Amino acid sequence: MSSNLERQANAEPVSAAPSHVPNHVAFIMDGNGRWASSRGLPRTEGHRQGLEALRKIIRHAALRGVGIVTIYSFSTENWSRPEPEVRFLMGLLRRFVQRDLSELHRENIRIRIIGERDNLDAGILKLLLDAEELTRNNTGMELVVAFNYGARQELTAAVKKLCEKVARGEIEPSAISESHISAELDTVGLPDPDLIVRTSGELRLSNFLLWQAAYTEFYFSDLMWPDFDEAALDQALECFGNRDRRYGGVTAQAL
């Protein structure tokens, strides 16, 4: 299904630099399986090619001046996929960290992991923690990896933490504000995403950053994730740069 948004973006040539590069871009990397199936390949090959696309996008985003990239790498719902596919994805994660971590570190990229860590495989958890620790003091672009992440679970956990604080007498229920909720989320300390990009023509958030996306701009691409390249990212950034972000208000020109 083709979105009006992308048709409008395709109608205009992409300039060398968008008028406004978003500070925080989040990606829902969708379509790996369908990319493979359409070529008569196993779904695992789609995930493999999706990882190659991710490598390109991370580095191109850094070159374009994006400050934070968040990737929806593995959701809490993804555990319901066939066991061989889940096992392959875990192996792909290991290979990504083992192959790319030292290079990302050299490029001054800081890695942060968000998502539920309880009950994770000990080896996977150590891999994630080691990546965070190695790059903790880097000052370049921040790569936020949403792994075993679900926004409803994140919000539920935040509510529980606030209830516990109320029970201990640390805060009055009437005093709870948006900032208190934000402080209990996995993304505490991070600015909300300016732009969420979803590939494969799907037009939904799929339990991703529900609280944080209140005023986020969206860009939906019909490309499957393995085909989403540097030019496609440039087009998304160009489209964002042409948006008028009003945050519920009006611009002076509209008065």
Query: Which residues fall in the annotated binding site?
Result: 30-35, 43, 47, 75-77, 79, 81, 198, 204-206, 217
**Interatomic CA distance for residues 147 and 116, integer angstroms:** 8
Which residues are part of a known binding site for Mg(2+)? Answer: 30, 217
| Catalytic residue check, 227 | no
Which residues have a Cβ under 8 Å from the Cβ of 165 and sit 6 or more positions away?
171
Among the listed residues 70, 72, 76, the one whose alpha carbon sits nearest the alpha carbon of residue 148: 76
| Catalytic residue check, 108 | no
- The structure tokens 């150590």 sit at 126
Which residues are part of a known binding site for substrate? Answer: 31-35, 43, 47, 75-77, 79, 81, 198, 204-206
The single residue of 30, 100, 186, 194 carrying the catalytic annotation is 30
The number of beta carbons lying within 10 Å of the beta carbon of residue 51 is 21
Which residues have a Cβ under 8 Å from the Cβ of 28 and sit 6 or more positions away?
72, 196, 197, 198, 199, 202, 205, 206, 208
The single residue of 4, 10, 23, 78 carrying the catalytic annotation is 78
- Residues belonging to the active site: 30, 78
